[in-house]
Amino acid sequence: MNWIAWALLLAVIPLGAPRYFAASGWRWPLSQTLSSALLVALLSVAGILAAVGNHLPGSSTVPGELVVIASVAAATLGGGPVTEAVFRLAAFKRGSEEPSTAEVAESAPLRGGMWIGLLERAAIASTLWVGWPEGLAIVLAVKGLGRFSELKQHAAAEQFILGTFVSVLWACAAVGVGLLIGS
């Protein structure tokens, strides 16, 4: 079962990656909401299968290097679409239409967030894998210092907090699934 869980973890990578090519005009056939839901479902099912597989007699383990690479890549690439989905949900007002991706992007006060999020999730997953959880605090401190002057705006502070929480939770979940697969 661990190999199936690892394959699901691997499936997160190509499902999350197209978001980063949207600026080039290339469009993924799935909606952002559906892609995000699939990403969360894949990661959840991978975690459940890994947890169950660890308790089955004779379960085979996936080589640790493959698990680390897959979980860091899944943490890095899969978190962006999920973060954007949370931004869309936060911008949604009852009784109105769901905002388009362009509307959410135009109202975003913090620029460069996609690339900062990629680096943030990669750094968080890497520090957790090397057994240095204090690195998470350093990553978040550097991010906060880098955005400090922009956080005086209410909308920027809200976007910063939402994006940071979702990114950190996603990266920690990907590493957690990796730990379950590798154990």
Q: What is the mean pLDDT of each run of 10 residues along the chain (183 residues)?
A: 91 86 68 89 95 81 92 94 88 60 54 82 96 92 76 74 92 96 85
**CB neighbour list of residue 73: distance below 8 Å, 6 or more residues apart:** 13
pLDDT of residue 29: 73
Euclidean distance between CA atoms 119 and 135, whole angstroms: 13
pLDDT of residue 137: 92
Q: Which two tokens stand for residue 176?
A: 């957690």
**CB neighbour list of residue 20: distance below 8 Å, 6 or more residues apart:** 77, 80, 114, 118
pLDDT of residue 167: 94
Say which amino acid occupies 24: S
pLDDT of residue 19: 75
Query: What is the pTM for the complete model shown?
Result: 0.84
Cβ contact 88:34 at 8 Å: no
**Residues composing the chain:** 183
